[in-house]
Amino acid sequence: MSRALIIVDVQNDFCEGGSLPVEGGAGLAAEISEYVDAHHAQFDHIVATQDWHVDPGAHFSAEPDFLDSWPRHCVAGTRGAELHPDLDTEYIQAYFRKGQFTAAYSGFEGLLAPDDAVPTGDRKPGAMPLGGSTDTVAGGDTDEEPGSLAAGEDAIGLDDWLQSHDVEDVVVVGIATDHCVKATALDGIQAGYSVTVLRGLTVGISEDLDDAVAEMELGGVDIA
């Protein structure tokens, strides 16, 4: 049995200074880095998810209700969609990007980013490739939108990737406790994984996260 750590959406737009900041996001990025540095040997695999919006329709709104609609955030290829600079990517093996053309809260909706889109230590802010498969272009002659990921037969989702690496046990951390962390954890349970959320390595939008935690526990998620 393999064990994986899933780092959910620790991106610039979800941290202080971003377009949809969650209080404590920047500090969490550093705390997750410290945790990974100290505990990476306890995991066989470490992956990260990213909101990666091209045109998600009603998910973006000029008058958001902050339940089903939100201000523009994590637009594909922009600095806001990049992982926060305080999140150390040394041990991250794969990146899964979600929500190109629709709302997507769960990391299990994400598609594997190509190797050339993986951040490196010498990457300058704002220099992340738009991402996608070999079919993805910016301003080229294909029908793909700039920054999009091909979703054809060769697309690899998070569940596919975890299964191919014999993962049965996942641990989830990241942003936000009451939205993408919760959705990822509950989808993990539905997909048949043993799921633990490290409560101290998440931050939420709501001031009261008891309902979100209770929903995860009721769904079979272990809260540690």
* Residue in the block written with tokens 């990517």: 89
Note the pTM of the prediction, 2 decimals. Answer: 0.85
Give me the pLDDT at residue 137, please. Answer: 29
Strand partners, 167: 2
Give me the pLDDT at residue 44, please. Answer: 98
How confident is the chain (224 residues) per 10-residue block, as mean pLDDT? 96 95 97 98 98 85 82 91 97 95 92 73 37 33 47 79 98 97 98 98 95 98 98
**Can you tell me the distance from the alpha carbon of 6 to that of 67, in angstroms, rounded to the nearest whole number?**
24
Q: At 79, is the secondary structure helix, strand, or coil?
A: helix
**Can you tell me the distance from the alpha carbon of 93 to that of 190, in angstroms, rounded to the nearest whole number?**
24
**Can you tell me the distance from the alpha carbon of 46 to that of 90, in angstroms, rounded to the nearest whole number?**
10
Instruction: Give the single-character DSSP code of 157.
Output: B
Give me the pLDDT at residue 3, please. Answer: 98
Do 40 and 91 form a contact (C-beta atoms < 8 A)?
A: yes
Per DSSP bridges, beta strands 45-51 and 94-98 are: parallel
Can you list the domains of the chain with their CATH numbers?
2-223 (3.40.50.850)
Give me the pLDDT at residue 104, please. Answer: 92
Which residues have a catalytic role annotated?
9, 98, 180
Tell me the two tokens of residue 112: 């594997």
Give me the pLDDT at residue 138, please. Answer: 30
